Structures are given as C-alpha cells and as structure tokens.
Amino acid sequence: MAGTGVAHKQPFLVLHDYGMGGSWWWVRARSAQEVLEAFAWVEVVTDAETLARFEDEGLEEVDIDAPRMPPGLDDLHAERAAQRGRAGFGALAGRDIVHLRLRGDDEDGEPVDQLVEVGPDGRRFRQVEVAEDGTALRSGPDDWPFNPPVVDLFDPALPSQEISRSDFEEQWARARQEDTGL
C-alpha cells in the first residue's frame, strides 16, 4: 500500500483511571492523538514497564473505527462524540500545565472554588480550595491518597474556566497548607 497515504493502525494501551481503579483496553488506531480525540477521560499509556505488564493480560482489543465499542469504552466514545465540533474542543489539550478555576464542594458539602494546576493527563499537581468566606487551603500530591484525572483537557467547557498562572500562584502563596493527616 505504499503511496496510498493511509496510516497503518497499531495497538495503544488505553486507561480510564477513575481513582480507586481503572479500565484498560488495547485500541488499534493510527496515532495516540486519534485515541485521545475519540474517547473522553482516557490516557494512552507509554511507560515500557506498564506496556510489558499488560502485553499478555488478554485485555480486550478494539479497532478505533469499529461501529460498536465494548462496555465502558462505549460511553467514553459517546461523550467525546458529543463534544467534538463544539467551540473550545481540545483547546487546552497538549499543554504541559493548565490552571483552572472549578466550582465544587468541600468535604463538608460547602461550595468552594477549586483552583487546580493540572498536567497534560488532567491530574493535579497542586490545588487551592477557596471557601466562600475567603479561607484558602492548599494541597499537593502528598496530601491525596489518589490522584486520578480531575479534568479532560479536550472538554470544550474548560477554556472558559482557565485562569492565569499568576492568579493561581497568588492564591497558592496566601493559602495555608491543608492538614490531611496522610
């Protein structure tokens, strides 16, 4: 098929990390980027040790162009399909560091602004929770028992929640360290 311009597919190890565990598949695709653009909330695993560990695990293998996806991957595929084409889709993807202001609840159910610094896989590097009364608590990876992705950087809703690095750093500097007891 030389000269046809058709890229050949290869298997990519794909993880949907949901915190207390994860779902894994081999996805045959033309590139890792194609996988990320086809499925929400996944990452393509490239670590050689992890690849070797899953080589003979008998994981389900799916072709990215298949008309139906296996359970678990089907919902992630549908979510991504609904996002594609919307303004902002993928605007934050591929960056090394992104700073966001997310609205959430603290452990007591009280509303807080969560200022997060995330990497390209959507996992937190650092976080500041700012309560409605202005109290600010900061935390990092050593404070969290799990650190699954908190955002999917392809999500078209995220660009409107982006903040500057200086805004994040200002809040980080004024926040007190969270005492998690870990």
Read off the pLDDT of residues 63-122 as tens digits, 9 standing for 90 and up: 999 999 999 999 999 999 999 999 999 999 999 999 999 998 777 888 889 999 999 999
Strands 124-131, 136-139: pairing is: antiparallel
Least confident of 77-81, 131-135, 151-155, 160-164: 131-135
Q: Is residue 163 within 8 Å of 101, Cβ to Cβ? A: yes
Query: Which of the listed residues 83, 117, 140 is the one where a domain comes to its end?
Result: 83
115 and 142, same domain (yes or no): yes
110 and 51, same domain (yes or no): no
Span 119-139, average pLDDT: 94
Domain of 66 in residue numbering reads as: 10-83
> Domain for residue 122, yes or no?
yes
> Domain for residue 1, yes or no?
no
Query: Which of the listed residues 33, 60, 83 is the one where a domain comes to its end?
Result: 83
Tokens standing for 45? 């695993």
Looking at the predicted structure, is the pLDDT value of residue 5 above 90? no
48 and 107, same domain (yes or no): no
> Domain for residue 43, yes or no?
yes
pLDDT band at 182 (very low <50, low <70, confident <90, very high): very low
- Of 24, 25, 23, 43, which Cα lies nearest the Cα of 33? 43
66 and 125, same domain (yes or no): no
Q: Is residue 45 within 8 Å of 37, Cβ to Cβ? A: no
Task: Please write down the HEC assignment for all residues of 105-166.
Answer: ECCCCCEEEEEEEECCCCCEEEEEEEECCCCEEEECHHHCCCCCCCCCCCCCCHHHHECCHH
Query: Which of the listed residues 83, 113, 144 is the one where a domain comes to its end?
Result: 83
pLDDT band at 125 (very low <50, low <70, confident <90, very high): very high
Q: Structural domain tally of the chain?
A: 2
Span 33-45, average pLDDT: 97
pLDDT value for 1: 42
pLDDT value for 110: 82
Any idea what DSSP says for residue 62? E
Tokens standing for 145? 């028992």
75 and 103, same domain (yes or no): no
Question: Which residues, at least 6 apart from 41, have a Cβ–Cβ distance to it below 8 Å?
Answer: 16, 76, 79, 122, 149, 152
66 and 113, same domain (yes or no): no
Kindly tell me the burial class for residue 8, based on how many C-beta atoms sit within 10 Å of its own C-beta (0-12, 13-18, 19 or more): exposed
